[in-house]
Amino acid sequence: MNKPLFLAWITAITAMGGSLFFSEQMKFVPCTLCWYQRILMYPLVILLGMAFYRNDRNIYQYILPISVIGVILSGYHYALQKIPSLGEFSACTNGVPCSGQYINWFGFITIPFLSFTAFIIITISMVMLWRRK
């Protein structure tokens, strides 16, 4: 079993499940940046699942750019939440504000932080695949 590939796939599944739980069960309305993060994360479930099934060690070539963009986007979103002065540079102009925090566990864990963590895990897993080649 290819452990980095499996870890990345399980992380993507968990992230997708978590985002659907927050929106469908908890009724949290996603902001614009949340939608962009979902757009990046959801295809990873399918792509990483197929790669794991086929033991495709070259999948990092396709996943790494997506996950790095996800790290940057979710990191920016988290910064918008935690650094109020960045609010004027927000991409969210309509609807739910990107600086809003539906959850704030332990004073630092927000939904963008969870997304950032998932993208980091997937990125590290893909770098591990790349290095093993």
Give domain limits for the chain. 3-132
Chain segment 80-103, per-residue pLDDT in tens: 999 978 766 666 767 788 888 999
Mean pLDDT rounded to a whole number for the chain? 93
CATH assignment of 3-132, given 3.30.70, 1.10.3470, 1.20.1550, 1.10.4030?
1.20.1550
On the question of pLDDT at 113 being above 90, the answer is yes
Q: Is 109 helix (H, G, I), strand (E, B) or coil?
A: strand
Closest residue by Cα to residue 76 from 41, 107, 44, 119: 119
Task: Report the DSSP beta bridge partners of residue 109.
Answer: 105
Q: How far apart are CA 63 and CA 102, in angstroms?
A: 29
Chain segment 8-32, per-residue pLDDT in tens: 999 999 999 999 999 999 999 999 9
